[in-house]
Amino acid sequence: MLITVAEGVLVHVSEFIQSNSTRVQGRDGVLLVDPGITGDEMADLAHDLRELGQPVVAGFSTHPDWDHVLWHETFGDVPRYGTAPNAAYMRELLAQPDWEEQVAEGLPPEYIDAIPMELLGHITGLPAGAVELPWDGPRVRIIEHRAHAVGHAALLVEHSRVLIAGDMLSDILMPFLDLEAADPIGDYLAALRLFDDTAGEVDVVIPGHGSVGIAGQLRARIVQDRAYAESLRDGAVIDDVRVGPAAPLDWMPNVHEWQAKRFAEKHGTAR
């Protein structure tokens, strides 16, 4: 079911970690951002759009994690954009003969047979440094950074004052760092500064996973994520409900402990 969150912007929520697929209304059709997760969910989404008389005219992948590069044949053969590094990462992956096995290793076992792989990762890279999505719709600004993953980007739908944040600014997931980066904390804090700079233009924030935030929740989430990242960097005690005893997802504290241990091992933080 599509839920309206702002003028011209609707969200479909998957059962898988509250994954959000975003639909932005254009002049002659819609932009789909990170559609997923199962084939049935995507077919239902395509059906709902047809019922509304809104064909898909473009897609966008916020980053190259498997659950953000999915597609379904019923959406049609349209451009599926992403940043240049995102597209390059996917080209390199898909060129490997065992790419399906590599992707399957990261899939949740309970969904593995329901996730369509045929069109995974067919991303059209935008020019390096592109700041606007090339489509026939409201201006959508690209906020590229390197926080969560290579080629990660958020989208700012200016007219609707909506920030589509990819895998950041979640109320149920703590910051997931790109631990292969030279400075994962520095990258994350830099991305949060970019979001802070746009906060005055945003009324609604849509995370890749979790609840849609309204009003002042964007700044609150920036503050929460910054505190987590700085505490992890400094080896301090982390006071964050998302990884505490009352975590919305009961497996998240274990993931946090794994991330903290890996970060300490790679970057020398004492724990």
Q: Where are the domains of the chain?
A: 2-128+138-267
pLDDT above 80 for 270: no
| Average pLDDT in the chain | 94
What is the reported pLDDT for 51? Answer: 86
According to DSSP, the β-strands at 204-206 and 213-214 are antiparallel
What is the reported pLDDT for 52? Answer: 84
What is the reported pLDDT for 198? Answer: 96
User: What number is the average pLDDT over the span 183-206?
Assistant: 97
User: What number is the average pLDDT over the span 12-25?
Assistant: 94
CA-to-CA dists, residue 107 to 113, 177, 192, angstroms: 10, 19, 28
Sheet holding 20-25, edge to edge: 2-6, 9-13, 20-25, 30-33, 56-60, 80-82, 124-125
Instruction: Name the superfamily (CATH) of residues 2-128+138-267.
Output: Ribonuclease Z/Hydroxyacylglutathione hydrolase-like (3.60.15.10)
> Tens of pLDDT along 125-183?
999 999 999 999 999 999 999 999 999 999 999 999 999 999 999 999 999 999 999 99
> Tens of pLDDT along 243-269?
999 999 999 999 999 999 999 998 875
What is the reported pLDDT for 271? Answer: 45
Whole-structure pTM value: 0.95
